[in-house]
Amino acid sequence: MPSYSYLGPAGTFTWLALTQVPEAEGAEWRSVNNVGEALDDVISGRSVAAMIAIENSIEGGVSATQDALANIPGLRIIGEYLVPVNFSLVARPGTALADVRVVAAHPVAYAQCHLWLDRELPDHEHLPATSNVTAASGLLAANAIADAAIAPPGIERELGVEVLADGIGDNPNAVTRFVLVSSSLAIPERTGADKTSVIVELPSDAPGALMEMLEQFATRGVNMSLLESRPIGDALGRYRFVVDLDGHIHDERVADALLGLKRFSPNVIFLGSYPRADRRNVEVRSRYGDDVFVEARDWLRGILSGEPLEQRPPA
């Protein structure tokens, strides 16, 4: 039976993202503690794929995921999924809000609730947890340190905790983007509503180097939906860029941009082309359509092969 890894236990936002994958229905679901463990499951073959968070609409990219994808070879993104994110503050039965001094929370969840926490619990301390559900379940341990936890709404139906406050997220419209990562090199079919992800290193920190990278996309009409920098780690001031592009590698404009990028960059990591979660078709101006690139290549091929040029009538 195929297995899928996710940041568990059951009930986490990652778990909710995995429920959106039709192929995962009826398969074994492996609960793991962190992104590294999830991706190790994929590389080792214990799981056919892993669901991991890659971006949040409030906090931006998830650095642990971006760095893992940059440093672990042989991984491909095969799908993306969106999960609306909100939070509750829960505690052991009998605990009042005034009693709370230590709050357990996953760091990403904590960052998305800090305004509420600073206002309602200005003297609290943060105890990091590996997941939102683990933060809540840890309250029931005999040696529990935290007085309360940030957890997904409805967790009180699964655990013996009480809700101290609902809707404590700083932004009610917060959404987390998850990606399904596999070791399969097969590229999902082009749908017209696709996204392509790459990681790119600049050849140097010379003036204009970043602009030269961006021009590879701009001159071919390829829109970027994400551009984030992460330190490479080998020297101060050296960065790689995580880039999401609107379109599929089978789109002529995207393929041509990647070729230009490869000529420019000392290291390009292709993370995958996959259907967009919102299923919104990518709009392409006519001068960047597939037929324009094909016609240009045919024109050049004709010149190189000595074919007679088609004569156009005078205007």
Q: Report residue 300's pLDDT band, with 50, 70 and 90 as the boundaries.
A: very high
The answer to whether 17 and 8 have CB atoms below 8 angstroms apart is no
The pLDDT value given to residue 310: 67
Distance CA 109, CA 94 (A): 24
The label of the residue with tokens 């599929």 reads: 248
Give the rounded distance of the alpha carbon of 281 from its chain centre.
19
211 Cβ neighbours under 8 A, 6+ residues apart: none
Q: What is the pLDDT of residues 8-53, one digit of tens each?
A: 888 888 999 999 999 999 999 999 988 999 999 999 999 999 999 9
Distance CA 242, CA 221 (A): 19
The answer to whether 114 and 162 have CB atoms below 8 angstroms apart is no
Q: Taking residues 245-254, what's their average pLDDT? A: 97
Q: What is the pLDDT of residues 106-116, one digit of tens each?
A: 888 898 899 99
Res. 254: pLDDT tops 60: yes
The pLDDT value given to residue 315: 56
Q: What is the pLDDT of residues 217-244, one digit of tens each?
A: 999 999 999 999 998 878 787 889 999 9
Q: What is the mean pLDDT of the chain?
A: 92
Distance CA 75, CA 72 (A): 7
